[in-house]
Homo-oligomer: A and B are copies of this chain.
């Protein structure tokens, strides 16, 4: 049994989904593991991870639209407001999605379905440098 671990960095340019499926596939093939478990973990609490459809980009537009409506800026009861109006909504959106996703690996590839992509979901308005830790354990 073997394992590998690596930190990938994404430069985000505002709210939305950034696909990282390619980075995940490259990490798996670079590790030389054909069967195993891949874990993606984001080291932040105002962005998150999501598996979503990568066929029609309208899905990403609507996901962003839904979360903006569910967790709007300007909720007047918030107490954590010192880091800007988009910060506490960002933490809440992160809580509603995932910080970590485990993906089985088979035939040297993450077991994504036909229409699945792995995304970093940025919840802050300004550009951020985001670290994602990729870990894999398995056999060649």
Contact = CB atoms under 8 A, between A and B. Distances in A.
Q: Interface majority SS on A: helix, strand, loop or mixed?
A: mixed
A65 B135 CA distance: 34
Taking residues whose C-beta sits less than 8 angstroms from the other chain, chain A's interface range is 35 or more
Q: List the number of copies, as a whole number.
A: 3
Nearest to A81: B58
A47 to B, nearest CB: 10
Given A37-B37, A61-B79, A80-B61, A133 B116 contact: no
Nearest to A50: B95
A37 to B, nearest CB: 6
A116 B43 contact: yes
Given A62-B88, A88-B59, A41 B139 contact: no
Nearest to A121: B95
Given A39-B37, A43-B112, A53-B91, A101 B104 contact: no
Interface of A: 1, 3, 5, 35-37, 39, 41-46, 50-53, 56, 58-59, 61-63, 65-66, 69-71, 75, 77-80, 82, 88, 91-92, 94-104, 106, 111-116, 131, 133-135, 137-139
Closest 9 CB pairs of A and B: A43-B113, A58-B80, A104-B135, A51-B99, A1-B1, A45-B53, A58-B79, A104-B133, A111-B133
